Chain A
Amino acid sequence: MIFPFVELPHIPGGWPRPVLDVVVGNMGEVLLPCLVDSGAMNTLLPIWVADLSGIDCTDAPAKTLGIASSGTKARMVPTLLTIGEHSWEAEVGFCDPWPHGWGLLGQLSFFRYFVVTLRAADFELEINPVQH
């Protein structure tokens, strides 16, 4: 599956980014853009996604994480994720607060499930599910 980078408007750092649209749980009406971030360990999403997709974080274990220039608390919940036609279940951290307009796809719950090829010169990203 090949995806073009997402363009950002004219702001500092407004450069196209490798972003994938992810369906979280059964919330099929929402495509949540997530930055493909090989520097992130976990896949992290804003807490509103859990609220609206009916994912209960009440008793989920919490981790304190550093994100951007501040910290956040992530509730770790096994979650069904879907990109295109491919779905997989992985642990996701639902974070509050969350400084980004999108989520992050990290190593433990995204990169280990896909072969990821970044062609930054062409502003495109290719992912293929790992064959087990």
Chain B
Amino acid sequence: MELSAKLSGLGCSLPGLTGQVGVHIEVFGLDGLTGLDLDDLGSVGGHLVEPTTLGPVQVAVGSREECPEPGLSRQLSGCCCCPELRGCITERVRCDKYAAERMGAMLTTRVAGKDFELDAAGVERTVTGVDPEPIRDHYVVIGRRRYPPKQVLAAVTGLDRGDFTTHQARSILRRLGFGVHRRGYVPQPRDGAMSTWPHRGAEAAALEPYIGRWIAQDGLEVLYDADSPYDVVRWLRKNGLRARVWRVPATSEEAGSMLSHP
């Protein structure tokens, strides 16, 4: 079956999108349930994101280029589809173009026997200014920052963290449109020319959302970002962590290469 037919079967109607330069496809969930495989995705430059047996199966198709908002794992315009729901659910796509829909999309969910109405904007407001705790396994990206999913859900619901599981928190936050990942997730490099670089462009891709920011970096992961090195070091000390602390260069001068552009 052709990719377009498979996508159509999942509720995605994407005439003219697949196969174009700049079109980006992400698959969340089991290949077996979506009917998609890596060959399908490779044919149009797509890739599998966080293969998991947990959470809803989702396919998102669109163009990254139209959504410059930094720090989001799903900077897509276009369709986001779940087989159990069928149809285009654009409000699930976190993108400036659809900000109005996203801000207005309420999710009704039941956690620990209580009903909650949540929306992405409300979650963002709640965690703004809240220091993320260290990530153990899973994390959710809100703004540019990575938070433990349970920390976020506890903050927005007021529930005790013992009242729900990480899986529940991940599922709810994902349904609100946030990128939910596991530690070790590495974003895709933007440029095939980086394939000879030390980390094949993965470090560059990981740093991209933090250009001009002070960060704490551990391996290829950015643990924390802030306006100043003082804030980054305070966070490291508070959490007993050790990391590379620096400001990601925004200009050639900051990179120390005034005279040496490659």
B262 interface residue (CB < 8 Å to A): yes
The answer on a CB contact under 8 Å between B236 and A29 is: yes
**Please, which residues of chain B bring their CB within 8 A of the CB of A101?**
214, 246-249, 254-255
Which stretch from B39-47, B57-65, B144-152, B201-209 is at the chain A interface?
Answer: B201-209
Q: Compute how far the CA of A79 lies from the CA of B31 in the bound complex, rounded to whole angstroms.
A: 56
* B245, A30: Cβ atoms closer than 8 Å: yes
Q: Which residues of A contact B214 (CB under 8 A)?
A: 101
> When the two chains form the complex, which single residue of B210, B233, B258 contacts A52, counting CB atoms closer than 8 Å?
B233
Closest beta carbon of chain A to B24's beta carbon, Å: 16
A7 on the B face (CB < 8 A): yes
Separation in Å of the B233 CB from the closest CB of chain A? 5
B255 touches A13 (CB 8 A): yes
In the complex, chain A residues whose CB is within 8 Å of the CB of B199: 4, 7
- Complex CA gap A11/B258 in Å reads 12
Q: How far is the CA of A111 from the CA of B156 in the complex (A)?
A: 53
Smallest distance from the beta carbon of A80 to chain B beta carbons, Å? 17
Asked if B194 is at the interface (CB within 8 A of a chain A CB), the reply is yes
Q: A17-B256, A29-B233 are in contact. Are A6 and B261 (CB under 8 A)?
A: no
A29-B240 Cα distance, complex, nearest whole Å: 8
User: Are the C-beta atoms of A32 and B190 separated by less than 8 Å?
Assistant: no
Minimal Cβ-Cβ distance residue in A for B209: A9
Picked from B191, B197, B211, B243, the residue with its CB within 8 Å of the CB of A31 is: B243
Chain A residues within an 8 Å CB radius of B256: 17, 35, 37, 68, 100, 102, 104
Q: What residues on B are CB-neighbors of A46 within 8 Å?
A: 229
Q: Report whether A11 and B251 are in contact in the complex, using a CB–CB cutoff of 8 Å.
A: yes
Distance, CA A4 to CA B230, complexed state (A):
27
CA distance A27 to B258 in the complex (A): 31
Query: Is A110 on the interface with B (CB-CB < 8 A)?
Result: no
Quick one: which of A12, A28, A37, A124 contacts B251, CB cutoff 8 A? Answer: A12
Q: A31 — which chain B residues lie within 8 A by C-beta?
A: 242-245
Counting CB contacts under 8 A, is A91 at the interface?
A: no
Say whether B241 faces chain A, with CB atoms less than 8 Å apart: yes
- Size range of the interface on B? 35 or more
Q: Is the CB of A5 within 8 A of B208?
A: no
* Chain A contact surface mostly: loop
A129 at the interface (CB under 8 A from B): no
Which listed residue (B196, B204, B229) contacts A14, Cβ 8 A?
Answer: B204
Question: Which of A11, A16, A37 is within 8 Å of B249, CB to CB?
Answer: A11
Q: How far is the CA of A10 from the CA of B211 in the complex (A)?
A: 9
In the bound complex, residues from chain B placing their C-beta under 8 Å from that of A5 are 197-198
B22 to chain A, nearest CB (A): 16
Closest to B191 in A: A10
Contacts of B245 in A (CB 8 A): 30-32
CB distance from A103 to the nearest CB of B (A): 9
Digitize A17-37: 1 where CB-to-B-CB distance is under 8 Å, 0 elsewhere. Answer: 100010000011111110101
Mark interface residues in B224-237 (1 if CB within 8 Å of A CB, else 0): 00001110010011
Shortest distance from the beta carbon of B65 to any chain A beta carbon, whole Å: 13
Could you tell me which A residues sit within 8 Å of B by CB distance? 4-17, 21, 27-33, 35, 37, 46, 48-49, 51-52, 68-69, 99-102, 104, 123-124
> 18 A–B contact pairs at CB < 8 A?
A7-B201, A7-B203, A7-B204, A11-B252, A11-B255, A12-B251, A13-B257, A13-B261, A29-B241, A30-B233, A32-B245, A52-B229, A99-B254, A100-B254, A101-B214, A101-B247, A123-B197, A123-B198
Q: Which residues of B contact A (CB under 8 A)?
A: 190-191, 194, 196-199, 201-205, 207-208, 210-211, 214, 228-230, 233, 236-237, 240-258, 260-262
